[in-house]
Structure formats: structure tokens, C-alpha cells
Amino acid sequence: MPLRAKVATSVSKTAAALSRAAGRGDGSVIGGWIGLKIDPELLTHLASGRAIALVSGTNGKTTTTRLAAAALGVLGPVATNSFGANMPTGHTSALAKAGATPFAVLEVDEHYLARVIDETNPRVVALLNLSRDQLDRAKEVAMMAQMWRTALAGHPDVSVVANADDPMVVWAAQGSSHITWFSAGQRWLDDSFVCPESGHPIERANGDWWCTGCPLRRPQAQWRVEDEGVVDPRGDWHLVKLQLPGTVNIGNAATALAVAAEFGVRPIEALPRLSTVASIAGRYAQVDRDGRNIRLLLAKNPASWLEAFDMAEQAPTLLSINARDPDGFDTSWLYDVDFSPLHNRPVLITGDRAFDLAVRLEVNGIPFRHVLSFEEAIRSVPMGRLEVIANYTAFQDIRAELDRVN
Ligand SMILES: [Zn+2]
């Protein structure tokens, strides 16, 4: 590495460590920021010589990154941004901190994918899904797909691992010369009813989809979820045992296996490592408190609320909504989500915007009780499981109350 990059790396690591020591989070953003100030090409320098996979999409990228990093661990040390700092500052910090590893798996915010592809020259890019995020900072989904498509067209040597079930992802990936398709399902359909190529309606039946006005249609998936397992490109079925809940996470495991296979890792080698992943930065964490087994589920946009309802057991459920900067200030997205899966279970609500949630549940005819604190929520449910579904800052608040559970 050039001298400037060496100095930048060292200062970046020190800044991150100081920030951590001062109790200001994990320090990866500030560390990366300072490093990039000293050497604007630091990410490129740190990436060079490593075989890298990037993981992007609206939902599931933190979990899939964690699973793919676990799978690649079969081959040797893997650098990864496991704290979810998924912009170039976070990538820079993660690579600086990891030292010289042969491999890296990086979660990338969908807005930054083009830049991070340019700067890290990845071997593999995994595209999970595209749907609306918090309303007031979402780029239109089709615009994001166009950005991805243009970015990949400039890097024909990259292997793309892409979700065959999402028309937006298929259209974005389609021009690449090396594509592996996986099928991880698409629970949220509202952002892909119109073909991004021709503007015609997209029709769906029995897991298949096709455009009614042009040749765009669902490609055959080489990796797919079947029962509690994953079918690989040779047609062999592998049982997937995870500590993470829901079919959604079996889909994330299928994606991780497909990414790892691009590096030569076989499912049979990777699977035992996937089963060791218990929670990711508090997501899916289970904590026992006063006889209640509390499980934390993060849900930050309409698609991920549907997934959270799928993962939650039929048990008392606490919903917490904030609308601070990282969450988006507009809570009208609550009306995009169908809350009817919460019928027939005790529902508690809390958070800065609990009353927005109250109105929404009222509309769905779901009885609920408002609690003022997480402690009160715990006291108001019987012994046993309490599911907690919260959006971004609400999730962090509850995680802090549970002593920053990981
Ligand atoms: Zn079309």
C-alpha cells in the first residue's frame, strides 16, 4: 500500500478505537470518515488484493452478509462490516480494522452500490430485492434498479448473484454476462407491478411472473428454497438448520450459499457455519427477563413488517414505532402494511409515534394496549414469549434497555 494509505489506515483504526473507548458506538463511521479524509482512495487501497463479495438490497442485507461471511470462513479469515455501517465510511473502517484478510463480505446500502463496485472491484455482487424504504428518503424503486443496471454494465467481469423472484432485481441484473439466479421469494409485491423495461403490467401465478408486454420474465433459479432446506444447482437438497427464525432466513441462507459457491465453497462445508449464527447486531436476539423470553425483530419498511409477522410466534407482541431521522419522519407507510396477522394475539404498542400506530390498528380492528415503557410492556404480559417488533431507532432504544444485547 502507498504510504499515504498506510497512514490513513492507522489513523482510521485509532479514531475508531478512541470512539469506541468513549462509548460512542462502534466507531466505524468516524474511523472510516477520517481515513477517507486523509486518503480519498483508501477504500480502493484496502480492497485491493482481497476477493470481495458485496451484498445489497432493501431488506435482508445485514443478515445475508453475516451468513455469507460465515460461509466464506471455510476458506480463511473474512473481513466484514458486521455492525451494519453499510456506506463507504463503514467499509473503509471494516477493512482497516480487519487487517490483511484474503476475503471480505460487505453489506452495501443500495444507494452506494455503484460507487462501492467502482472502488472495491468485487468478485461477486449479490442483489436481494428492491422495495420502498422509508417514504421521505426513498428513491423511486425503478430509479434504483436503473442505477444498479448501469453500475453492473460497467463491470462485465463481476459475477452477479440475483433474486429471480423480484422483477426489479432481474431487470437490473439481466445485462451481466455471469449471473446466478436464486429464488428467495418476494413477499412484498406492491413495488413491482409494472415492468421497468416496457411499463406493461407484470402478472404472477404459482411463483412465476412475466411481463405482459415484453420478454422480461422470471428466469429459472439455480438455487431455491424447498421445505426447510435449499436445493443447489445440481439438484441436491440440503437441510438448513438455523438459529434465525422464519422462511425469510432460509431464503437468506440460500443467497449466502450461492455467494459462497462463487468462491468455491460447497453447501456441505458452509451449512454447519450458518447454523452458528444466532443474532446479528441485536436482530433476532433472545433475552430472558423476569420470566419472559423476549425476542427482538427489526422491521423498518413495509416489506420487512410482513417478514416480521411471518417470523413472530403466536404470542404477545409489542410494536414500537419512532419517527426520528434514521426512521424517516413520515409514518404514513403504516397504511401500506397489513396488520391483520396480529389478530388473535395480545398486542402492546409503544414508542414516540405509538398513537400513529394506534390509529392504524384501530382501522384494522385489532385490539391493543398502550404502554409507556419497555419495562411496563414486560410487566403486562404473562410468563413466556414476548415478541418485539420495532423500527430502527425504536429497536436501538429497546436494545439499549437490554444492555446492548447482540
Ligand atoms: Zn415489459
Cα(264) to centroid(ligand 1), Å:
35
**Grid coordinates standing for 377?**
410492556
Cα(219) to centroid(ligand 1), Å:
14
Report the pLDDT averaged over residues 71-93.
Answer: 92
Cα(44) to centroid(ligand 1), Å:
37
For residue 77, report the phi and psi dihedrals to the nearest 5 degrees: -60, 140
Instruction: Among 31-40, 45-54, 293-302, 389-398, name the most confident range.
Output: 45-54
Helix (H) or strand (E) holding 142: helix 141-153
Q: How far is it, in rounded angstroms, from Cα 78 to Cα 53? A: 10
Report the pLDDT averaged over residues 287-311.
Answer: 90
DSSP 315-328: S-EEEE---SGGG-
Measuring CA to CA, how many Å separate 168 from each of 34, 143, 252, 312? 36, 10, 18, 28
Report the pLDDT averaged over residues 6-11.
Answer: 90
Which range (99-108, 162-171, 185-194, 355-364) has the least confidence? 185-194
Cα(196) to centroid(ligand 1), Å:
7
Burial class of residue 41 in the structure, from the number of CB atoms within 10 Å of its CB (0-12 exposed, 13-18 middle, 19+ buried): middle
Cα(206) to centroid(ligand 1), Å:
19
| pLDDT value for 132 | 81
Which range (169-178, 336-345, 363-372) has the least confidence? 336-345
Cα(291) to centroid(ligand 1), Å:
54
Q: How far is it, in rounded angstroms, from Cα 67 to Cα 308? A: 18
Cα(304) to centroid(ligand 1), Å:
27
Cα(177) to centroid(ligand 1), Å:
20
Cα(223) to centroid(ligand 1), Å:
25
Kindly tell me if the per-residue pLDDT of 135 is higher than 60: no
- Provide the pairing of β-strand 347-350 with 78-80: unpaired
- Looking at the DSSP bridge assignments, the partners of residue 370 are 349
Cα(167) to centroid(ligand 1), Å:
10
Cα(195) to centroid(ligand 1), Å:
5
Kindly tell me if the per-residue pLDDT of 149 is higher than 80: yes
Cα(166) to centroid(ligand 1), Å:
14
Report the pLDDT averaged over residues 240-256.
Answer: 94
Contacts of 143 (CB under 8 A, 6+ apart): none
Cα(335) to centroid(ligand 1), Å:
28
Q: How many CB atoms lie within 10 A of CB 169?
A: 25
Cα(217) to centroid(ligand 1), Å:
8
Q: How far is CA 60 from the centre of its chain?
A: 3
Helix (H) or strand (E) holding 301: none
Helix residue spans in 22-60 (DSSP H): 28-38, 42-47
| pLDDT value for 139 | 56
Cα(198) to centroid(ligand 1), Å:
4
| pLDDT value for 404 | 65
Kindly tell me if the per-residue pLDDT of 138 is higher than 60: no
Cα(184) to centroid(ligand 1), Å:
22
Cα(226) to centroid(ligand 1), Å:
29
Taking 3-state DSSP, the helix, strand and coil percentages for the chain, each rounded to the nearest 5, stand at 40, 20, 40
* Average pLDDT of the residues of the chain: 92
Cα(214) to centroid(ligand 1), Å:
4
DSSP 65-111: HHHHHHHHTTTS-EEE-TT---SHHHHHHHHHHH-S-SEEEEEE-GG
